[in-house]
Amino acid sequence: MRIIRISEILHDEGVTGLYSRLRFPKAASGGWSPSPITPEVSVTGGRPDLQDRLRCVLRRAGRQVIRDRRGHELTRFHIDPALGPFESYGSNDILVLSRKAGPHLDQIVQHGKSAQAVVEMCPERYQKLAAAGMGRDRLFLAVGGLDGFALGIYRFLLAARAVEPDAVDWRSMVPDFQVGHDRMPRLCLSLGEVKFRRQFFLQQGPRGFVICDGLRQDPGWIGAAMGYRAMAQACLARGIGQAIFCEDDVEIAPDFEIRLEKVMAYLKSRDWDVFSGLSTHVRQGYHAEQVESFRGETFLHLNRTTGMVFNIVNRRALERLAAWRYDEHGRQGITIDAHLESMPGLRAVTTMPFLVDHCDALSSTAWGFSNRRYRGMITNSQQRLAQMAAARLGDATAAI
């Protein structure tokens, strides 16, 4: 870590933040280097309806489905293949498992490690395969009937870069959702493969949230950005101008709905782009433009916000999220929260204390480190906001 970078971390996050970064480093990326999905592919085995749906998804991804020819170099999708001792699969083979009663786990692991990937339609067996040593980097989950199967295949094609990040079709990613009288959907981005995070979210009993299956990429922040972009595009396409977006590691308190109702009542008569339920990294350059009390809550109007754990997004912010492009920065990319933070004239609102928290016991799917790394950042952010609020209120008192 460069000296100037250490100085920045100490200034923004304190000694606790620096210690957390050293203790919980980012996981190394690049664990899975998939073979290219060839322009021509073959599909064999399985039920006719699965074959038809698989062919449809492949054609949407620009692949031509042809008959397999001996010696022809192409990607092969095998639905419920034979996994006996006399069978062999290589880096051009994708194994699709649909039957609950199938080969022994050891056989799947043995052949799956040689194949490019395994797409599993049985959630219970998926977990067993992951525990048995089948690397999660090449193991994909596709559940929920034919539609879920199609989504699982599409997610695999995205992870394998058969579909470019900026060519993702939101209609393939975001399920239909119902909205209440306020026409504000509640959408939670969650990876189905990371079962314990989704269970954590659902066990809290959140009301009215629709789960949107996240997208897997290496590094993970690209998949997160594509997921939020798809959610924003879905809202705009359906004529919806406001939405709640969250991650499945958000931690909500028992009084969440009561406080949320106050937040919504406050925002109705204010100009805003984003309400941040948890601004992870309040640092230099953040300013409190206004501080107000409303129904027992303290609201701060900020010029910036960081983090995607929980946000209420207004139309301008939805349009900003929908416009994220991976190639916009010379294929270096920019995280979705940094893209939102850099929005010209951003009007952010938050509460003190924050509306939600971040579960320390889970790990980041975007970065691969423990969420505990964020704790020092969140604590320092709260303190900085308190200082801003006190200074702002002090200026107002002095003016009177």
The per-residue pLDDT for range 114-123, each reduced to its tens digit, is: 999 999 999 9
Residue 28, burial from CB neighbour count under 10 angstroms (0-12, 13-18, 19+): exposed
User: Domain ends where: 136, 160, 184?
Assistant: 160
Residue 24, pLDDT above cutoff 50: no
Residue 94: name the closest of 32, 34, 31, 158 by CA. Answer: 34
Of 159-168, 255-264, 340-349, minimum mean pLDDT range: 159-168
Evaluate whether residue 145 is within a structural domain: yes
Residues 253, 209 share a domain: yes
Cα separation, 306 vs 106, in Å, equals: 44
Evaluate whether residue 291 is within a structural domain: yes
Evaluate whether residue 28 is within a structural domain: no
- Encode burial over 279-308: b for 16+ CB neighbours within 10 A, e otherwise: bbbbbeebebeebeeeeebbbbbbebbbbb
Evaluate whether residue 3 is within a structural domain: no
Size of the chain, expressed as the number of residues it contains = 400
Evaluate whether residue 31 is within a structural domain: no
> Residue 188: which CATH number?
3.90.550
Residues 181, 67 share a domain: no
Cα separation, 12 vs 21, in Å, equals: 13
The per-residue pLDDT for 12 is: 58
Torsion, Cα 168 171 172 174, to 10 degrees, reads 100
Evaluate whether residue 344 is within a structural domain: yes
19 token code pair: 């210690």
Residues 141, 251 share a domain: no
> Residue 71: which CATH number?
3.40.50
Residues 195, 144 share a domain: no
Of 24-28, 102-106, 208-212, 348-352, minimum mean pLDDT range: 24-28
Residues 366, 220 share a domain: yes
Residue 26, pLDDT above cutoff 80: no
Q: What is the mean pLDDT of the chain?
A: 87
Q: Range of 322's domain?
A: 171-399
In the chain, count of helices (H) and strands (E)?
Answer: 11, 16
Cα separation, 350 vs 347, in Å, equals: 10
Cα separation, 352 vs 382, in Å, equals: 7
More confident residue, 195 or 101: 195
More confident residue, 330 or 87: 87
Q: State the average pLDDT over residues 385-389.
A: 90
Q: Are the CB atoms for 97 and 80 separated by under 8 Å?
A: yes
Question: Which residues have C-beta within 8 Å of that of residue 351, sequence separation ≥ 6?
Answer: 259, 263, 277, 297, 298, 299, 300
Residue 390, pLDDT above cutoff 80: yes
User: Domain ends where: 160, 195, 211?
Assistant: 160
User: Domain ends where: 160, 194, 217?
Assistant: 160
Q: For 236-251, how does the pLDDT look when each residue is reduced to its tens digit (9 = 90+)?
A: 999 999 999 999 999 9
212 token code pair: 């949107």
Q: State the average pLDDT over residues 303-311.
A: 93
Residues 191, 86 share a domain: no
The per-residue pLDDT for 367 is: 73
Residues 137, 190 share a domain: no
Residue 34, pLDDT above cutoff 70: yes
Instruction: Report helix angle 105-114 to 123-131, nearest 10.
Output: 70
Residues 147, 241 share a domain: no
Instruction: Report helix angle 220-237 to 145-159, nearest 10.
Output: 130
The per-residue pLDDT for 13 is: 56
Residues 181, 122 share a domain: no
Evaluate whether residue 323 is within a structural domain: yes
The per-residue pLDDT for 290 is: 94
Residue 35, burial from CB neighbour count under 10 angstroms (0-12, 13-18, 19+): middle
Number of domains in the chain: 2
Q: Which of 26-30, 199-203, 379-383 has the highest mean pLDDT?
A: 199-203
Cα separation, 223 vs 229, in Å, equals: 10
- Residue 64's pLDDT band, with cuts at 50, 70 and 90, is very high
Tell me the sheet residues that pair with 14: none
Q: State the average pLDDT over residues 26-51.
A: 83
Q: Are the CB atoms for 371 and 361 separated by under 8 Å?
A: yes
The per-residue pLDDT for 14 is: 58
Residues 112, 59 share a domain: yes
Residue 218, pLDDT above cutoff 90: no
Residue 188: name the closest of 171, 172, 204 by CA. Answer: 204
- Per DSSP, 370 falls in state B
Of 62-66, 178-182, 277-281, 321-325, minimum mean pLDDT range: 178-182
Q: State the average pLDDT over residues 18-39.
A: 64
More confident residue, 285 or 250: 250
Residue 1, pLDDT above cutoff 50: no
Residues 184, 117 share a domain: no
Q: Are the CB atoms for 276 and 246 separated by under 8 Å?
A: no
Evaluate whether residue 18 is within a structural domain: no
Q: Report the DSSP pairing between strands 75-79 and 40-44.
A: parallel
Residues 175, 133 share a domain: no
Angle (CA) 308-313-317 rounded to 5° is: 95
Q: State the average pLDDT over residues 142-155.
A: 92
